[in-house]
Amino acid sequence: MTDDRIPHSEIRHRFDAELDGIKHASVALGSLVLENAGRLTEALLESRVDLAQEVIDADDPVDRAYIDLERRVFRVIALQQPVASDLRFLISIIRVAHEIERSGDLVVNCAKGIYRQQGFHLNSQMQGVLARLCRAALDLFGSSIESLAALDPGAGHRLDQEDDVVDALVGEFYTLLANESEGMHVDTAIELSRVGRYMERIADHAVNIGEHIGFIVTGIFPRHGEFDEGGSA
């Protein structure tokens, strides 16, 4: 009697195509936010209020793409009964999408600060530190999106280490801000401190994305290991 067994991927190719589509959509969502973040950096460093407004306006497509992605994942979970790595992937994409969407909101929050201040008009020293901070945070975010595309299991550990650079730059920025703040309006200083905080949080979201990618591939969530006493229940 002839054997019916053939490799799984040849059977559920529509399901596999849907999963690929979801991965591409999540990378595209990340790219949207990254693009807007680039716009923000220019607005920040060149005091471009018009660009800040563009950043704010560009959030709607991000929100729509996020909602669309979540609906798509929900639909696949409901209709295709995924298990194992497929289930880990889909659950993780929901989390990753949320990290990306929150990062997008933080980019917009920075832009709103620029808008409220009608540009920060920073001295060259402040500009220099802020530029390095933005570049480091957004490079980290960009790296997390690349890791998502490649499903790189080492992303979590690597991004966590690179985050130390961002944290150090945030510290440097706050130190400089503290020194410079006497000559500033207090609300300007507050807005600038928020920008530093938002950049730090964008970097944290990137680290989280890396951890979710690791979970997709290995089924292990790094932080859970802290509570694992070596045996399963």
Partner 1 sequence: MNDDRGNEHPEAAARPDAETRPAARAISVGAVLRNGRPAESGASPSLIFDVQGLRAFYGSFQAVADTTMQIREHEITALIGPSGCGKTTVLRCFNRMNDLIETARVEGVVRYHGVDIYGEKVDPVEVRRRIGMVFQKPNPFPKSIYDNIAFGPRIAGFKGNLDDLVEESLTRAALWDEVKDKLKQSAYALSGGQQQRLCIARAIATSPDVLLMDEPCASLDPIATLRIEELMIELKRDYSIIIVTHNMQQAARVSDRTAFFTVDVKETGMRTGRLVEFDATEVIFTRPHQKQTEDYITGRFG
Chain residues binding partner 1 by CB under 8 A are 1-6, 8, 11-14, 74-75, 78-81
> Which residues does 102 contact at the CB level (< 8 Å), separation at least 6?
201, 205
CB of 174 to partner 1, least distance (A): 47
d(CA 125, CA 80): 55
In 51-209, which ranges are E strands?
none
CB of 155 to partner 1, least distance (A): 32
CB of 100 to partner 1, least distance (A): 23
User: Is the CB of residue 105 less than 8 Å from the CB of residue 200?
Assistant: no
d(CA 156, CA 99): 14
Burial class (CB within 10 angstroms; exposed 0-12, middle 13-18, buried 19+) of 27: middle
The token duo for 210 is: 């890396």
Q: Which of 26, 226, 225 is CA-nearest to residue 145?
A: 26
Q: CB-wise, 11 or 150, nearer to partner 1?
A: 11
Q: CB-wise, 3 or 226, nearer to partner 1?
A: 3
CB of 77 to partner 1, least distance (A): 9
d(CA 58, CA 61): 6
Q: CB-wise, 86 or 204, nearer to partner 1?
A: 86
User: Is the CB of residue 177 less than 8 Å from the CB of residue 130?
Assistant: no
d(CA 41, CA 82): 40
CB of 154 to partner 1, least distance (A): 33
Q: CB-wise, 5 or 233, nearer to partner 1?
A: 5
Q: CB-wise, 34 or 93, nearer to partner 1?
A: 93
Q: CB-wise, 82 or 222, nearer to partner 1?
A: 82
Q: Give CA 170 to chain center in angstroms.
A: 18
CB of 97 to partner 1, least distance (A): 18
